[in-house]
Amino acid sequence: MSTPTYADHAWHGPVTVDENVRIARDTYRIRFACGEIARRVLPGQFVMLRLAECNDPLLGRPLAVYDVAADADGKPHYLDIVYLVVGKMTRLLAETPAGARLESWGPLGNGFPPTPAEHLVMVAGGIGQTPFLMLASEYSGQRTYGDPPRKVPPSKKITLCYGARSSEFLACVEDFRRAGVDVQLSTDDGSFGQRGLVTELIAPVVERSQWPCRLVCCGPEPMMEAAARIARELDLPCQVSLESPMACGIGVCFSCVKKIRDASGNWDYRRTCVEGPVFDAADVEF
């Protein structure tokens, strides 16, 4: 039996760019129309995007869904994707104008489960904040996602610990504040917020909290490994959203496999695109 993340449940086809705007250094938010994906996507899921009628690059790229926007009738219709320019595909994507066509398929992957969290602490490094706005909007009670809309127990507090190389790369901060999120910032060079690693923000947030914390984390793998270690030391539940390179996004090519421990303590390979990208941090063999 196929799961909801398998290819036979994904929509695949051309989409039209509505807007593509720069929001920070080398960082853009692209919006395109696709009601079939928008009405079903859940926090933590992703889509594959490919440049239409382009053979270089040939393959699509996995990009987290940042948010969903409604059409004039109030129905989910647009997908927002926030991305960082790091290679040929994203450089060409940044040059894509409104009205252009892309190829997309999704929603893909198992996102964040609706686990109760009295204090939800989201830890993001680099461009790792992108799966978290929808999650924060759910746990704050401001938005619902999915078809039918899923119900999530509201959190008493939501914190985003967000780190970047410098202030120029910090993106979407005000979006999170509007969602009712307490934002704690760090930069490698000290140009904004606390100087140092984003993982250094975790323990102080947990120590000041009046409620039990649950961590979710996304970003560079060394940062997620450090966050998982801190969660283990503080005896906190922690989930990580892996950013493994993918070629297909539907579980066929096995290019995104990761070592994941099972209940017996042994490990096996799991596909990030189908069994993930969200895993319990304690099960990941970093």
Over the stretch 45-103, which tens digit does the pLDDT of each residue have? Answer: 999 999 988 878 888 899 999 999 999 999 999 999 999 999 999 999 999 999 999 99
Instruction: Decide if 225 is inside a domain.
Output: yes
Instruction: Decide if 148 is inside a domain.
Output: yes
Q: What is the CATH number for 244?
A: 3.40.50.80
Span 168-225, pLDDT tens digits = 999 999 999 999 999 999 999 999 999 999 999 999 999 999 999 999 999 999 999 9
Q: Number of structural domains, the chain?
A: 2
Domain that holds residue 141: 119-283
* Listed residues 56, 88, 108: the one ending a domain: 108
The answer on pLDDT for 13 being more than 60 is yes
One domain, residues 124 and 73? no
Q: What is the pLDDT of residue 2?
A: 45
Q: What is the distance between the alpha carbons of residues 253 and 181, in angstroms, rounded to a whole number?
A: 38
pTM: 0.94
H-helix segments, 79-201: 88-94, 132-139, 173-178
